[in-house]
Structure 1
Amino acid sequence: MTPPAEPAQPDQPAQTAQYRRVHRLSPVLQVWTTLLALLAILVFNFAAPLWRWLGDENYSARQLLWPIAAVVVALVVVVGVSQLWWSKTGFRVGAEEIEHKRGVLHNQVRTARYDRIQAVDIVEPLAPRLFGLAAVRIEVAGGVNAAVNIAYLPREEAEELRGEILARIATKGPNAPMAEEAAEELALDGLASEGSEARVSASAGAPRKNYLVPPIPIGRSMVATVFQFSTIATVAASLVPLLTDLTLAAIVPILVGFVPLIWRTIDQSWRFNASFDGEVFKLRYGLANRRRQAVPHERIHAVQLKQPLLWRPFGWWTVSITSAGFGAEASAATGTAKLLPVGTYEEAVAVVGAVGPLSADALTDLSRADYASPRRARWVSPLDWKSQTATVRDGVALTSFGRLTRRYQMVKAPHIQELSYEQGPLERRLGLASVRFDLVPGLVKMTARDLDDADARALLEALRARRLPPMHPSESPHLRG
Structure 2
Amino acid sequence: MTDAAAVPPDTTPPGLLPGARSPLSDGEWHRLHPLTPLLRGGLFLLVIVGIVVANLRDRLVYLFLPWLDDEYEVEIDQLENGDPINWIVANNLYVVALLAVLGVLLLLIGVFYLSWRFHTFRITGDDVEVRSGVLFRTHRRAPLDRVQGVNLTRPMVARLLGMAKLEVVGAGLDSNVKLEYLSTLNAEQVRADILRLASGRRLDDAARADAARHGTSRVSAAASVVSAGINGLITGAEEPVDEPESVVHIPVGRLVASRLLSGSTVALLAIIAFIVWGAIAGTPWVLFSLVPAVIGFGTYWVRTITRALRYSIAPTPSGVRITFGLFTTVTEILPPGRVHAVQVTQSILWRPFGWWEITVNRLSGRGLADANADQFTTVLPVGTRTDVERVLRLLLPDLPENEWPMVFEQGLLGPAAEDIYTNTPRRAWLFRPLSWKRNGFLLAPDVLFLRRGAIWRSLAIFPMARMQSIGIHQGPVDRRLAVAGIRAHTITGRVSGSIGILDRDAALDLFEHVEAAVVTATAGDRSHRWAGEVAPVPEPVEGPAEQSEPTP
Normalising TM by the smaller chain, what interval? 0.7 to 0.9
Shift of the alpha carbon at 1:343? 0.8
**Contact in 1 for aligned 2:336/2:527 (Cα 8 Å):** no
SS in structure 2 at match of 1:441: coil
1:24 aligns with 2:54: no
* Alpha-carbon distance change, 207 to 42 in structure 1, aligned in 2, over 3 angstroms: closer
Deviations 1:62-106 (A, max 9, x none): 528599889888766755544443333222334543321122443
Task: Map 1:153-232; keep pairs closer than 5 Å.
Answer: 153-165=182-194, 172-173=200-201, 209-213=244-248, 215-232=249-266
CA distance in structure 2 between the aligned counterparts of 1:240 and 1:126, rounded to whole angstroms: 40
Distance apart, 1:407 and its partner CA: 0.3
Distance 1:145 1:59, change over 3 A: closer
Q: What displacement does 1:399 show?
A: 0.8
Instruction: Report 1 or 2 for greater relative contact order, CA contacts < 8 Å, sequence distance ≥ 6.
Output: 2
- For residues 317-347 of structure 1, what are the alpha-carbon distances to aligned partners after superposition, in whole Å with 9 as ceiling and x for unaligned? 1122223566777443785223321111111
Write the deviation string for residues 120-158 of structure 1: whole angstroms up to 9, x where unpaired: 332112343343321122234x33433221112232332
Aligned to 1:303: 342
Distance 1:381 1:98 in 2: 50
Which amino acid in structure 2 is aligned with residue 233 of structure 1? Answer: A
For 1:176 and 1:338, locate their aligned partners in 2 and report how far apart those are by CA, in whole Å: 33
Of 464, 467, 470, the residue aligned with 1:419 is 470
Describe the shift of the 1:351–1:94 C-alpha distance in structure 2 as closer, same or farther (beyond 3 A): closer
Task: Compare CA radii of gyration and give the structure with the larger one.
Answer: 2
- Cα RMSD after superposing both structures: 4.8
Q: C-alpha distance in 2, partners of 1:463/1:383?
A: 28
Letter in 2 for 1:111: R
Q: Alignment partner for residue 85 of structure 1, among 90, 115, 118?
A: 115
Counterpart-to-counterpart distance in 1, 2:203 and 2:525: 12
- Count of aligned residue pairs for this structure pair: 447
SS in 2 for 1:143: coil
Contact 1:416–1:437 (CA under 8 A) maintained in structure 2: yes
Contact 2:58-2:72 within 8 A present in 1 as well: no
Match of 2:411 in 1: 363
1:435 to 486, 502, 505: 486
Counterpart code for 1:457:
L
2:220 aligns with none
Identity of aligned residues (%): 25
Whether contact under 8 Å (1:241, 1:248) holds in the other structure is no
Q: How do 1:239-318 and structure 2 match up within 5 A? A: 243=279, 244-246=284-286, 262-263=301-302, 265-277=304-316, 280-318=319-357
Contact 1:125–1:134 (CA<8 Å) still a contact in 2? yes
Structure 1 contact 398–411 (Cα < 8 Å) conserved = yes
Q: Deviations over 1:23-46 (max 9, x none)?
A: 43446536957985x789879988
Contact 1:169/1:176 (8 A) holds in 2: no
Contact 2:27 2:122 in 1 (8 A): no
Aligned to 2:154: 124
From the superposition, tell whether residues 160 and 349 of structure 1 become closer, same or farther in structure 2 (CA, over 3 Å).
closer
Contact 1:318 1:342 in 2 (8 A): yes
Aligned pair in 2 of structure 1 residues 59, 16: CA closer, same or farther (>3 Å)? same
User: How big is the shift at 1:284?
Assistant: 1.8
Unaligned runs of 5+ in 1: 1-7, 188-192, 197-205, 476-481
Aligned twin of 1:342: 382
Distance 2:193 2:316 in 1: 21
| Counterpart code for 1:363 | G
- Residues 93-172 of structure 1 aligned to structure 2 (within 5 Å): 93-140=123-170, 142-165=171-194, 172=200
In 2, Cα distance between equivalents of 1:48 and 1:248: 33
Deviation, structure 1 residue 248: 5.9
When you count strand as a share of all residues, which structure comes out higher? 1
